[in-house]
Amino acid sequence: MPRISTIQLYDRATSSIGESRDRESITSQKASTLKEIVRPSDDPRGWAVAQQIKDELSIQDTLSRNAALARHVLTATEDIFKQATDHVERVYELGLASIYKGQDVRTAALQEVEEVYESVIHALNARYGSRTLLGGFKSDKPAFNADGEFLGDGGSIEIELERGQRIPININGKAAISGSGQSGAVNITEVFQRLIEGLKSGDHELIGSTFPDFQKAVSQLTSVRTEIGARMNRIDRVLSSYEMESVERKEAIAELEEADPVKVFTDLARDQTALKATLDTAHKILTEVPPDKLFR
């Protein structure tokens, strides 16, 4: 039977210490992170699957931020058309009253209609951040001037909501307010100006001509608000779906990566005990075997 030299014992002890330290280091790291997979070598397949899910989650987070931004922009845009609707309904009432209640009422109505018109122009030029909402691609300047002329363009600004699917987040101001390209639509700012002219001149016929157009304007604005609402509903559905998918993906990652605390700390205690035993054995070899024999 071949003899085992003392140098072989020493080499084996050193190797055992290294292996024990490696095992103890891995379990210590698992205990500190409570993760079963801390490096690809722990579970190559599990690590690859977890990374793929994390990549999907990262893409989903980006799309969720896009959706949230789109909703904020559309909410601000919807507020423009809500204000415009309220203003149109108010001047319609003022126009009706001015015909039937005499000059004094007409004079007061003129002043209020002019103020409301200024408020309308101000609302139509509302901005989100540094961008005019109704200006299309020309969003660095007002969408309408004081005369109600459209200064923007018909550019459609879109944002990716779902992978490969985009949604417009702006409204064509020229079509929505000026009625351009819309069958049966009216130029809302022109109707305001016509009413103002009629109130100034006391022309009842001119004032009366605005009434059906203001009614059309309300329908026109309501149609735009309905379109915005439909987009927002779609965004809400997508955000809700993303929220559920995010929870599911995070649970899947946790199932792959997270460790069982009881098992981890049991393994840690075992590996620490094994390391101590290995160190004790090595110490015994080094202290009990004379150096001159150890290295022969």
Q: How do strand 165-168 and strand 131-132 relate by DSSP bridges?
A: unpaired
Read off the pLDDT band of 198 (50, 70, 90).
very high
63, amino acid identity: L
At residue 259, the pLDDT reads 56
In a 13 Å sphere around the CA of 153, the CA atoms on its Cβ side amount to 7
147, 286: one domain = no
Average pLDDT over the chain, rounded to an integer: 84
Question: Does 149 share its domain with 231?
Answer: yes
| pLDDT for 264 beyond 60 | no
pLDDT-based confidence at residue 295 (cuts at 50, 70, 90) = very low
Are 212 and 117 in the same domain? yes
Full domain range(s) for residue 74:
52-254
Which of 22-31, 128-137, 277-286 bottoms out in mean pLDDT, i.e. has the lowest?
22-31
82 and 148 in a single domain? The answer is yes
User: Does 275 lie in the same domain as 146?
Assistant: no
| pLDDT tens digits, 65-80 | 999 999 999 999 999 9
Q: Report if residue 248 sits inside a domain.
A: yes
170 and 224: one domain?
A: yes
Residue 282 has pLDDT above 70, yes or no: no
Per-residue pLDDT, 257: 64
Taking phi over 0 as left and psi of -120 to 50 as alpha, with beta for the rest, 170 belongs to: beta
Q: Round the CA-based radius of gyration of the chain to a whole number and report it.
A: 38
Report helix, strand or coil for 249.
Answer: helix
**In this structure, what are the phi and psi dihedrals at residue 33, rounded to the nearest 5 degrees?**
-100, -15
Q: For residues 136 and 156, state if they share a domain.
A: yes
Q: What is the mean pLDDT of residues 186-192?
A: 97
With a cut of 80, say whether residue 283 has pLDDT above it: no
pLDDT of 95: 94
**Residue 254: what pLDDT?**
76
Cβ-based neighbour number of residue 25 at 10 Å: 12
Both tokens of residue 43? Answer: 């579970």
Instruction: Give a yes or no: residue 40 inside a domain.
Output: no
Picking from 71, 92, 63, 282, the residue whose alpha carbon sits closest to that of residue 199 is: 92
> Quick one: DSSP state of residue 40?
G
pLDDT band at 15 (very low <50, low <70, confident <90, very high): low
- Does 45 reside within a domain? no
More confident residue, 68 or 54: 68
Contact 234, 52 (CB under 8 A): no
The strand ranges marked E within the chain are 127-128, 131-132, 158-162, 165-168
**Closest by Cα among 267, 256, 237, 203 to 24:** 267
Total number of domains in the chain = 2
Shared domain for 292 and 248, answered yes or no, is: no
Cβ count within 10 A of residue 127: 15
Q: In this predicted structure, what is the pLDDT of residue 30?
A: 58
Q: 269 and 204 in one domain?
A: no
Non-local (6+) Cβ contacts of 95 within 8 A are: 109, 113, 195, 198, 199, 207, 210, 211, 214
Q: Is the pLDDT of residue 275 over 70?
A: no
> For residue 180, is it within any domain?
yes
Determine, yes or no, domain membership for 46. Answer: no
Banded pLDDT at 201 (limits 50, 70, 90)? very high
> Considering the domain boundaries, does residue 43 fall inside one?
no
pLDDT higher for 80 or 294?
Answer: 80
Check whether residue 170 and residue 276 sit in a common domain: no
CATH number, residue 160: 1.20.1330.10
Cα–Cα distance measured from residue 51 to residue 61, given in angstroms and rounded to the nearest whole number: 15
Cα(226)–Cα(249) distance, integer angstroms? 34
In a domain? residue 284: yes
Question: Is 119 part of a structural domain of the chain?
Answer: yes
Looking at the fold, whether 134 and 223 belong to one and the same domain comes out as yes
pLDDT at 56 over 70: yes
Q: What is the pLDDT of residues 2-13, one digit of tens each?
A: 555 555 655 666
Residues 151 and 119 in one domain: yes
